[in-house]
A and B are shown apart, each in its own frame.
Chain A
Amino acid sequence: MGIYLWRRVVVLVPTAWLVLSLIFLLSRGLGAAPPLPSLEADAIGLTDPTSQRRATEQRMRHRYGLDAPLFYITLERSYLNPNAARRWQWHGTANQYHSWVKQLSRGDFGFSYRDSKPVTSVLLDSLRHTLPLTVGAAVLATTLALALGVFTRPRWQAALRSILSLLDILPLFVVALLLLLLLANPDVLAWFPAYGEGRIATEAVWWQQLGTYLYYLALPLACLVLVTTPGLALQLDAALQHELGQAYATTARAKGLSTSRVQQKHALRNAWLPFLTVLAELLPALVAGTVVVETVFARPGMGRALAEAAAARDFPVLLAGVLLLATIRLAAYILTDWLYQLADPRLRPAS
């Protein structure tokens, strides 16, 4: 098993690295400059002359290290003869990619272009806000999906399936806005706060702090649970229905076991396999956050941080975020493989 997992790591890590390198080269190769409002020239009446604008851009590129060649080898036009065809040129280690890899090898992700904060602190701060929301939602959604899939009485199943299918087709932003307009609206019900994480009084005791925190978390959490649960429950239900149609389930029933007993004791273990795949898909989503919920409920988090970094061309934050997500996704693949083999011994490689 250990060798098998090690092999998976050996294959997946270079793949992830290749993807990340491609993103690095493409994002920087597009020539997009870091954000500098005056360079966008949308304001009339600036006193800086045009010549200074170019110098400004050059200085900024120099400060960010964007004036160095992009890669070890690039296609360049000759300075002496600009009309000549472009030729490949070797730059040695004095290039952006090499500096970036060197930085990464020291565990240094650099600084955000926007606020000059260390990228690590930007991501950790975002995760601190995102993880309680996404992990909470994942735990609740999985519990609910199991409860609905396994413990629902047969006569309710058809109606439940219809409700879950209806919920499943609703986009996240619709659910978020619906919850907001229904439960945080003075014209309907203003039971919950509309945005933010609330202000926790410093003199409040721990349960008051927890209460305030949960009060503000309720709607975003409900939103994620409502969107995640149907997919999980329907998947589990489909897998269970499939297993219950198998010969071994019929035999068990013929021996006098009740349907629910067959489901819980025999079918559930086999129905786990497709369910595990869906669960593993949740893992990267836990870290990536959810930009829609974070934006609608004005909560900071990983999704908003990455979306804003992309919009502002904040490459250091963006690349570190992609690296983190790629790592988590790889871990999710490996974890799924391992759980698969744990759940079904037939899938284990021959020793």
Chain B
Amino acid sequence: MIRLFTSLFLLVVFAEASSCSSSPASRELPLRVRWIRDPETLDPLTQPNENARQGVNLLYQSLLTVDYEQQRFVPLLAESMPSVRHQGARTLITYRLRDSARWDDGQPVLARDVEFTLKVMNCPDLPNEEVRAQFGFITALQPDPLDSRRFTLVCEGAAPELVLASGDFPILPAHYLDPQNKLGAVPLAALQQDSLALRHYPDVAPFVQRYKAAQIGQHPDALPGSGPYRLASWKTGQQLEFRRKPRWWGQALQQTAPQLQARPEQIEFHVIPDDATALLAMRRADVDLYPRMPAREFGRLQADSARHPELSFYTAPSYDMTVAGFNTRSSLLAHRLTRQAISHLFDVPQLIQATQQGHAYRSVGLINPENKAFYNDSLRPFAFDPTEASRLLVRAGWQRTATGWERQRPGQSPQRLALRLSYRAGEPTYEAIGLQLRAAAAQLGIPITLHPTESSVLSGRLRAGEYDLYLRSMTGNPFVYNFAPILHTESIGSGNFTRFGTPDSDRLIKSITTEQNPQRKARLLRRLQALLQAECPLTVLYFNRYQIVAASRLANLQISGLPPGYNVMAITSRPDDSH
């Protein structure tokens, strides 16, 4: 048996050595990036997660894109930023596509492709529900009869954010997916009403069937794209490999338009779900880039950086925040002073140290402190202050008794202050925050029970208002300031989990979304932050930083606080490291 095992082992080692030596020498090392999960699909209509979005952006292009370094939108397929006109309650946004923009098969990218994409995004029975809702404000496309590359998007509403949003969806090739132009005869408005489209336009249903049968999400290589890369291989749950196209239309423009750069010749995304394995892979140089490394591992590795000259360490202030929310309709937390009192029981500096190794940073509210123009720096975040919490509870009508805090209610038995804190189960950060809050509240005589809950059940409970306090993460961005989905009274029962809303706050939120003037917008946003701190429907505990570890041979990562935290297409190898 020992002989058998020895032979087998030798076979394996020899075969491994032979297969390694037999692999052809590549001109340039591939860029290998760790992904925590599989993108699941690369269908431009679906994009269910951040990895899918990253993959789709390598294959297809939108009218505008984000300049990671400057954190602003810049033209991509569009030749310049669009011109904007307002017509009553509508906004007319005019784009012109770049003359040189081409699909893989050499066909030009035209206004017809944009119109076709908008129609596909609204076709009934396709997995497009999310993009449909997100871009539902675009109600028509008016092509320029004299210029096949110029068109005007008719958008409902006047919010300045619509301009940026109107150019932020990947464009699909109409000539390939609909060669007979069957969708051309169907107005966009008809498609936006499911039943109307299917009843009056018999060509829609066969198109939907054809689109589904093409399985673009799994086989994007079958579809010509305008992006600089093509999908070379995809081993589900393991690895995706993208190769730069030998002839890509954007190459000629890279000097004048840096957003069109596509530096790595080959990009591999390695799916490694476990953080410990990913860390080992990074240390073994099996991967070159480990984005969003957990703070603890990042801290340990960085502390030992003298032993790892082959690694470079980066951080960037992100727009991801950890938030504690209050059920403002719960009788226990209906008074804003009670909510403020509880907010004083979070020892945020200690929590930042314990959960983020000191890498996170505080904020007074939902606006990132890095955004100097809109951040209200006259406010101070809630300090950890149990004495102040007691004082606020007394002002809110609570009385300290031998058993805790109670409040008299006319005609009813006294109400006791005891709270339930809900959060997603299996999340050590929330667990740590919950334990700290529970300990601080217990010292003050407020019992808090922790309710780690399965994700979908938690979502349901938050929507239904079946909780007292919750902990969750939220993601902001520096472009859009629309707080209606999370704070407007109309959103109670959907995204407004705190069930907060007053006529004042509703008006303010609406004014912010429609305000065109940056100075006035800044004033409104500062007012909103002050109002939210006073009413305290939610408390932002801290904003996270992205921690990124990369091989030292990599340069120009364009690290930023916007997901995924780096610009994969901009990354280069240092000259002495390329083969």
Contacts and interface: CB of A to CB of B under 8 A. Distances in A.
A48 B22 contact: no
A30 to B, nearest CB: 7
Name the residue in B133, B235, B236, B270 with the highest tally of chain A Cβ atoms < 10 Å from its Cβ: B133
B473 interface: yes
Contact of B129 (A36, A47, A204, A209): A36
A81 to B, nearest CB: 22
A207 B16 CA distance: 10
Nearest to B212: A116
Contacts of B137: 47
Contacts of A210: 11, 15
B280 A185 contact: yes
Given A53-B485, A207-B15, A300 B238 contact: yes
A180 B280 contact: yes
A170 B273 CA distance: 22
Contacts of A63: 125, 127, 129
A208 B23 CA distance: 11
A147 B41 CA distance: 47
Interface in B213-235: 215, 217-218, 235
B399 interface: no
Given A38-B134, A54-B494, A56-B132, A47 B274 contact: no
Interface in A110-161: 114-117, 125, 147
Interface in B540-563: none
Contact of A296 (B136, B276, B476, B495): B276
Contacts of B22: 201, 203-204, 208
B482 A46 contact: yes
B273 A295 contact: yes
A3 interface: no
Nearest to A305: B237
A37 B130 contact: yes
A147 B218 contact: no
Nearest to A63: B125
Given A116-B41, A195-B277, A195-B286, A47 B474 contact: no
B162 A47 contact: yes
Contacts of B482: 44-47
Interface stretch (B63-71, B144-152, B452-460): B452-460
B322 to A, nearest CB: 11
A213 to B, nearest CB: 9
A295 B277 CA distance: 9
A299 B299 CA distance: 28
A37 B159 CA distance: 23
Interface string B431-461: 0000000000000000000000001110110
B281 A194 contact: yes
Q: Contact size class for B?
A: 35 or more
B515 interface: no
Given A59-B129, A201-B22, A147 B1 contact: yes
Contact of A52 (B14, B133, B456, B472): B133
Contacts of B479: 45
Contacts of B276: 177, 180, 296
B486 interface: yes
A46 B134 contact: yes
B283 interface: yes
Nearest to B271: A298
Contacts of A308: 37
Interface string A85-115: 0000000000000000000000000000011
A194 B284 CA distance: 9
Interface in A170-216: 177, 180-181, 184-187, 190, 193-197, 199-201, 203-204, 207-212, 214-215
A60 interface: yes
A210 B18 CA distance: 12
Contacts of B455: 311
B366 interface: yes
Given A44-B474, A147-B1, A184-B284, A32 B457 contact: yes
B218 A298 contact: no
Nearest to A40: B459
B311 interface: no
A304 B494 contact: no
A196 B129 contact: no
Contact of B19 (A37, A39, A208): A208
B239 interface: yes
Contacts of A36: 129-130
Given A190-B284, A201-B23, A44 B18 contact: no
Contacts of A52: 133, 136
B16 A212 contact: yes
Contact of A45 (B43, B215, B459, B476): B476
A211 B274 contact: no
A196 B38 CA distance: 13
A45 B137 CA distance: 14
Contacts of B107: none
Given A41-B486, A44-B477, A114-B48, A214 B8 contact: yes
A35 interface: yes
Name the residue in B135, B270, B459 with the highest tally of chain A Cβ atoms < 10 Å from its Cβ: B459
Given A44-B475, A180-B280, 11 more contacts: A37-B48, A41-B495, A44-B482, A44-B483, A50-B484, A57-B129, A114-B48, A184-B280, A194-B277, A208-B22, A300-B237
- The 4 lowest CB-CB distance pairs between A and B, nearest first, are A211-B15, A45-B480, A41-B495, A300-B237
16 contacts: A32-B456, A36-B130, A41-B495, A52-B136, A54-B494, A56-B129, A59-B129, A59-B132, A115-B217, A125-B236, A185-B280, A197-B238, A207-B11, A214-B8, A298-B272, A299-B237
Interface of A: 30-33, 35-57, 59-60, 63, 114-117, 125, 147, 177, 180-181, 184-187, 190, 193-197, 199-201, 203-204, 207-212, 214-215, 218, 295-300, 304-305, 308, 311, 313
